[in-house]
């Protein structure tokens, strides 16, 4: 099986959300117009919240339900927690 990834990014600690803030960081400047995307992504939410994935419709996540995607799912280019003050932790493989 071919290797898919180049690295991991994620939270350094439990963080509190800012309303509608993008969790996927911008691509490094040396990527020449390539957008950062995660082929694996996990979110752990400590309170109930609503998320938007890749600009899609809002999705409700119950307390500590979390979200997990892997290489069989669509790449994650955008992940937004809609509400403020939601404690969360995330990690992604790119």
In the chain, how many domains are there? 1
Distance CA 85, CA 35 (A): 27
CATH number of the domain enclosing 86: 2.60.120
Distance CA 85, CA 15 (A): 9
Q: Is residue 66 part of a domain?
A: yes
80: containing domain: 8-93
Q: Is residue 2 part of a domain?
A: no
Give the tens place of pLDDT for each residue, 49-77. Answer: 999 999 999 999 999 999 999 999 999 99
Q: Is residue 3 part of a domain?
A: no
Give the tens place of pLDDT for each residue, 73-89. Answer: 999 999 999 999 999 99
Q: Is residue 1 part of a domain?
A: no
């Amino acid at each position: 099986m071919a290797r898919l990834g180049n690295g991991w990014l994620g939270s350094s600690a439990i963080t509190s959300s800012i309303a509608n803030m993008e969790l996927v960081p911008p691509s490094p400047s040396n990527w020449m117009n390539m957008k950062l995307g995660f082929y694996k992504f996990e979110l752990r939410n400590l309170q109930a919240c609503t998320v938007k994935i890749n600009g899609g419709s809002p999705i409700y996540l119950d307390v500590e339900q979390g979200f997990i995607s892997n290489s069989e799912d669509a790449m994650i280019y955008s992940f937004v927690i809609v509400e403020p003050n939601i404690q969360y932790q995330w990690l992604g493989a790119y």
